[in-house]
């Protein structure tokens, strides 16, 4: 961690030595005491000069090593994570009525979601700490990416899932060899049990909200956007991302701020946070009073169905500091966005992945985004992760008898 | 098509001008008259010098443009296809008892399978021909990749599926906006109807066996392997691939032969073709008499469940010319290979994708592959494409009550 200066509590402001704390500020506890990794930005700048940097480095998130909290780079996974494609999607821009639209396809990561960036760092930190095992509570992308990166490192993983977890998502964890505990209770009980087990057994805890290092992996998507846009000679007015517990949008914003700080960009983009209408604590807080009111989660976009976001402060700051906005979109708009994204940009996203596209439409409707604006949408997960929703979004095939005449009667021109 | 000299019939040997024929040799018909694209290899060599080439070019299959049948490169899709990761998998090598094992993860392509390489070329050729629509008959990776690349190009697509096609696979086609005909009959009837419709409406036909250009896309995986191995200072004794209709293995072999011809490699690797025990026409032909006997297909590895392979000649030649071998593996071994591949190399493959790993085990057992051999396995598709098989392969989670004591009783050390 050559350039890491300290871990600073976002609640009390105290700076801790990385050797002294494991996860959160001991003074403020894990609900409030979320830490932020501080770097020596002058030293980083010397190694990441915008003019000379682009040519070299691996085509993965690890090209940004000077800005990552890595002590033992020789432990970096063989899995190629990050440096996902950035597509210019002109036909999508037309549909959304914006000047230009770019799509960052995070579904191309090793286990097919954005969360791989965080798990890559989480497993690496566990190895550096000499952990015997890594753990998390999740049935979603955090769990599958953890299982994949743990398998890559040969590090045992224990994952806590609620008993209602879909069989298919559990299967993926088991294929990677994780020990999966099916907790006979709610998701909250699975989460608390994971915390207790982590503490009792000394298992390394991969939970983005209480582990400051994971957001460092997430921010790399912003570093990449800055570099990829520089290559294309463009830059977005808005960066759009769906929001669950606030870690992802918080990471995105941290990445842009750091790139500004080391001289890559003069101006940061505005951040548009998009939530499902059935679960919009950030939207409510941003619109009405800036305080968190936890809610029930009722949306098919499971990856962002978080009624009690654990990284509320960072998630809200991303929008307020950037001069951005929060919007909410109904599930029907999310399903329609899945087909719009697939048909106009050829990217198949899971519901939470396509939510950003629906968010751009809503922000246009509200006049938040204008027709002359350039937007970049981060598609956070692959549509193959949730085939049930794809079936709901897709419509039906045309039945035909096996005869050319039958086709002639119904074929599109 | 700067360097394309002719399309040569593999049956009668006659060379055709690419402007004169659309799909197959008009003298031999589409069952026998499969064409091969011939290049001016001296001209190609001048543009693909092994010493100077590596530095430049896009990180996609299109870096090999001098060896591709492309007339209008400005029509190349925005989707980033090819240049997939090549991983060195030491723990997998140990398990397989070989000197070294490399994994080429084709599940990282845009629609998550190897078939994207072929569809990328197919859609491009359709656009060059000014086609109004492109068609195929399939429920598998060929169809989903066609739907994706057609969406990227804004080219309408019509896909014929048998009425028994799984809802989930059909949904993916519909999400991309393809018109999907559910043919009230068998797969063979769907295939014949597609051929008739293509001919009647003038729709461009994306069928690998009767369209010589598609295998040109497929061969790029071999070009990449040669270049990526050169970067790593290694080279495999065996390249291993699962086999259905013979187009993929035929493409792989063509790629290696061409790289030999233009001076990148002195010696080609041996090719190991792997089939499911429940559908092994190539294995039978190779072992017993070199003639094709079509069979029923009975295997869970649906992507290679082809009882009547349409590219038999090229598929058999790949093995005989390379000095390789064909082996068959039972479905149970394929399921076990899925977990072995995921746990030892952190790559989640669909059954046909993991079949190559089972094939290495079988070839070791038969003494075909030795303990000092270096193998490279092409994983042809992502495990997310077939969650039902993953569930069969994965085992079960451990039920626990929501209490630490319950975890303590069952947790791995």
Name the strands in the sheet holding B374-379, side by side, starting at the edge strand that comes first in the sequence.
B86-88, B100-105, B374-379, B238-242, B270-276, B325-329
Q: What is the mean pLDDT of residues B275-287?
A: 96
Whether residue B55 has pLDDT greater than 80: no
The minimal CB distance from A193 to the residues B152, B383, B402 is found for B402
Separation of alpha carbons A252 and A259, rounded Å:
11
Contact B264, B51 (CB under 8 A): no
For residue B5, give both structure tokens: 């000299």
The minimal CB distance from B407 to the residues A193, A339, A343 is found for A193
A141 annotated among ligand-binding-site residues? yes
CA distances B345 to A169, A226, B242, B256, Å, are: 20, 32, 18, 25
Q: What are phi and psi of B132, to 5 degrees?
A: -90, -15
| Helix, strand, coil % in chain B, rounded to nearest 5 | 45, 15, 35
Would you call B193 and A407 a contact, using CB atoms and an 8 Å cutoff? yes
Contact B117, B255 (CB under 8 A): no
Per the listing, tokens 């019509």 go with B158
- A189 contact residues in B (CB cutoff 8 A): 402
- Give the lowest-confidence range in A44-58, A317-331, B225-239, B319-333: A44-58
Q: Domains in chain B, please, with CATH?
A: 86-113+216-394 (3.40.50.1100)
Per the listing, tokens 């069979």 go with B295
Considering chain B, what is the average pLDDT of its residues?
94
The half-sphere exposure of B18 on its side-chain side, counting CA atoms within 13 A, is 19
User: Length of chain B in residues, anyone?
Assistant: 413
Separation of alpha carbons A122 and A213, rounded Å:
7
Contact B164, A397 (CB under 8 A): no
Residues of chain B with pLDDT > 70, as a percent, come to: 99
Three-state SS at A153: helix
- Report which of A112, A38, A130, A17 is spatially closest to residue A75, judged by C-alpha positions: A130
Does residue B155 belong to the interface with chain A, where contact is any CB pair within 8 Å?
Answer: no
For residue B328, give both structure tokens: 């068959």
DSSP element (H, E) containing A347: none
For residue B42, give both structure tokens: 């001296």
Instruction: Return the residue of B nearest to A133 by Cα.
Output: B413
Would you call A404 and B200 a contact, using CB atoms and an 8 Å cutoff? yes
Would you call A183 and B400 a contact, using CB atoms and an 8 Å cutoff? yes
- B62 contact residues in A (CB cutoff 8 A): none
- B103 contact residues in A (CB cutoff 8 A): none
- Quote the minimal CA–CA distance from B349 to chain A in Å: 10
End-to-end CA distance of chain B: 61
Q: Quote the pLDDT of residue B53.
A: 85
Does residue B267 belong to the interface with chain A, where contact is any CB pair within 8 Å?
Answer: no
- Quote the minimal CA–CA distance from A157 to chain B in Å: 10
Would you call B181 and A339 a contact, using CB atoms and an 8 Å cutoff? no
Separation of alpha carbons A403 and A197, rounded Å:
62
- A412 contact residues in B (CB cutoff 8 A): 133, 156, 158, 179
The half-sphere exposure of A68 on its side-chain side, counting CA atoms within 13 A, is 25
The minimal CB distance from B108 to the residues A88, A108, A399 is found for A108
pLDDT average per 10 residues of sequence, chain A (413 residues): 94 94 90 93 94 81 96 97 98 98 98 97 97 92 96 97 84 95 89 93 89 96 97 97 96 98 97 97 91 89 88 95 98 98 98 97 98 98 92 92 94 74
Does residue A384 belong to the interface with chain B, where contact is any CB pair within 8 Å?
Answer: yes
Contact B363, B398 (CB under 8 A): no
Does residue A231 belong to the interface with chain B, where contact is any CB pair within 8 Å?
Answer: no
This model of the complex carries an ipTM of: 0.96
Would you call A397 and B161 a contact, using CB atoms and an 8 Å cutoff? yes
Does residue A394 belong to the interface with chain B, where contact is any CB pair within 8 Å?
Answer: yes
Would you call A170 and B407 a contact, using CB atoms and an 8 Å cutoff? no
Separation of alpha carbons A1 and A355, rounded Å:
35
A40: left (phi over 0), alpha (psi -120 to 50) or beta: beta
Interface test with A, best of B56, B60, B345, B346 (most A CBs within 10 A): B346
- Quote the minimal CA–CA distance from B40 to chain A in Å: 33
Per the listing, tokens 């949730």 go with A386
Does residue B164 belong to the interface with chain A, where contact is any CB pair within 8 Å?
Answer: no
Contact A37, A212 (CB under 8 A): yes
- A182 contact residues in B (CB cutoff 8 A): 397-400
The minimal CB distance from A179 to the residues B193, B393, B412 is found for B412
- A175 contact residues in B (CB cutoff 8 A): 338-339, 342-343, 348, 383, 390, 393-394
The half-sphere exposure of A13 on its side-chain side, counting CA atoms within 13 A, is 0
Would you call B161 and A196 a contact, using CB atoms and an 8 Å cutoff? no
Cα three-residue angle A300-A303-A304, rounded to 5 degrees: 80
For residue B259, give both structure tokens: 């790289």
Contact residues, B window 174-193, toward A, CB-based 8 Å cutoff: 174-177, 179-185, 189-190, 192-193
CA distances B206 to A305, A407, B15, B22, Å, are: 40, 18, 22, 11
Instruction: Return the residue of B nearest to A145 by Cα.
Output: B346
Contacts of A391-395 with CB under 8 Å at 24 or more apart are A391/B167, A391/B168, A391/B171, A392/A300, A392/A335, A393/A335, A393/A336, A393/A338, A393/A339, A393/B171, A393/B175, A394/A339, A394/B170, A394/B171, A394/B172, A394/B174, A394/B175, A395/B174
Which positions of B make up the binding site for pyridoxal 5'-phosphate?
141, 380
Does residue B384 belong to the interface with chain A, where contact is any CB pair within 8 Å?
Answer: yes
Does residue A198 belong to the interface with chain B, where contact is any CB pair within 8 Å?
Answer: no
Q: At what angle are helices B167-175 and B141-153 packed, to 10 degrees?
A: 10
For residue A392, give both structure tokens: 């709901």
- A231 contact residues in B (CB cutoff 8 A): none
- Give the lowest-confidence range in B142-146, B257-261, B384-388: B384-388
Does residue A63 belong to the interface with chain B, where contact is any CB pair within 8 Å?
Answer: no
- B396 contact residues in A (CB cutoff 8 A): 174
Residues of chain B with pLDDT > 90, as a percent, come to: 81
Interface test with B, best of A384, A393, A410, A413 (most B CBs within 10 A): A384
Separation of alpha carbons A266 and B239, rounded Å:
49
Does residue B168 belong to the interface with chain A, where contact is any CB pair within 8 Å?
Answer: yes
Contact A351, A386 (CB under 8 A): yes
Three-state SS at B326: strand
Q: Quote the pLDDT of residue B168.
A: 79
Contact A309, A315 (CB under 8 A): yes
Whether residue B165 has pLDDT greater than 90: no
Contact A153, B379 (CB under 8 A): no
- B158 contact residues in A (CB cutoff 8 A): 411-412
Q: What is the DSSP letter of A275?
A: E
Separation of alpha carbons B77 and B75, rounded Å:
6
B182: left (phi over 0), alpha (psi -120 to 50) or beta: beta
Would you call B400 and A184 a contact, using CB atoms and an 8 Å cutoff? yes
Q: Which residues pair with A248 in a beta bridge?
A: none
**How many beta-carbon pairs below 8 A join chains A and B?**
230
Cα three-residue angle A286-A291-A297, rounded to 5 degrees: 75
Separation of alpha carbons B151 and B155, rounded Å:
6
- Quote the minimal CA–CA distance from A261 to chain B in Å: 30
Q: What is the DSSP letter of B287?
A: I
Would you call A346 and B77 a contact, using CB atoms and an 8 Å cutoff? yes
Q: Quote the pLDDT of residue A114.
A: 97
Contact residues, A window 80-119, toward B, CB-based 8 Å cutoff: 80, 85, 87-89, 91, 108, 110-112
Contact B321, B327 (CB under 8 A): no
Three-state SS at B390: helix
- Report which of B282, B278, B304, B279 is spatially closest to residue B292, judged by C-alpha positions: B282
Instruction: Return the residue of A nearest to B153 by Cα.
Output: A346
Would you call A346 and B401 a contact, using CB atoms and an 8 Å cutoff? no
Would you call B402 and A343 a contact, using CB atoms and an 8 Å cutoff? no
Contact B311, B244 (CB under 8 A): no
């Amino acid at each position: 961690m050559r350039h890491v200066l300290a871990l600073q509590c976002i609640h009390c402001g105290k700076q801790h030595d990385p050797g002294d704390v494991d996860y959160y500020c001991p003074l403020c506890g894990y609900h409030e005491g979320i830490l932020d990794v501080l770097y020596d930005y002058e030293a980083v700048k010397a190694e990441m000069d915008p003019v000379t940097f682009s040519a070299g480095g691996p085509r993965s998130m690890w090209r940004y090593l000077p800005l990552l909290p890595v002590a033992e780079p020789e432990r970096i996974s063989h899995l190629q994570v990050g440096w996902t494609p950035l597509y210019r999607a002109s036909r999508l821009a037309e549909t959304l009525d914006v000047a230009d639209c770019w799509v960052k396809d995070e579904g191309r990561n090793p286990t097919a979601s954005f969360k791989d960036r965080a798990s890559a760092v989480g497993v690496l930190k566990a190895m550096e700490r000499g952990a015997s095992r890594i753990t998390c509570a999740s049935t979603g992308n955090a769990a599958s990416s953890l299982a994949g990166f743990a398998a890559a490192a040969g590090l045992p993983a224990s994952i806590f899932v609620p008993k209602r977890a879909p069989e298919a998502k559990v299967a993926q964890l088991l294929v990677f060899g994780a020990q999966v505990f099916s907790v006979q209770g709610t998701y909250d009980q699975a989460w608390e049990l994971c915390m207790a087990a982590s503490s009792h057994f000394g298992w390394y805890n991969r939970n983005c909200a209480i582990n400051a290092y994971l957001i460092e992996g997430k921010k790399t998507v912003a570093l990449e956007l800055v570099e990829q846009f520089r290559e294309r000679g463009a830059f977005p007015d808005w960066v759009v991302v769906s929001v669950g517990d606030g870690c992802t949008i918080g990471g995105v914003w941290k990445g842009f701020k750091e790139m500004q700080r080391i001289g890559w960009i003069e101006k940061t983009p505005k951040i548009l946070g998009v939530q499902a209408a059935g679960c919009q604590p950030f939207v409510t807080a941003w619109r009405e009073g800036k305080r968190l009111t936890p809610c029930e989660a009722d949306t098919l976009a499971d990856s962002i169905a978080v009624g009690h976001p654990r990284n509320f402060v960072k998630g809200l700051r991303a929008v307020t500091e950037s001069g951005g906005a929060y919007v909410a979109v109904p599930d029907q708009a999310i399903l329609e966005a899945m087909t719009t994204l697939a048909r106009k940009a050829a990217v198949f996203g899971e519901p939470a992945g396509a939510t950003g596209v629906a968010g751009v439409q809503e922000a246009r409707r509200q006049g938040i985004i204008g027709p002359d604006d350039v937007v970049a949408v981060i598609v956070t997960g692959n549509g193959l992760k949730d085939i049930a929703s794809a079936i709901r979004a897709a419509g039906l095939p045309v039945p035909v008898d096996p005869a050319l005449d039958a086709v002639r009667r119904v074929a599109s021109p």
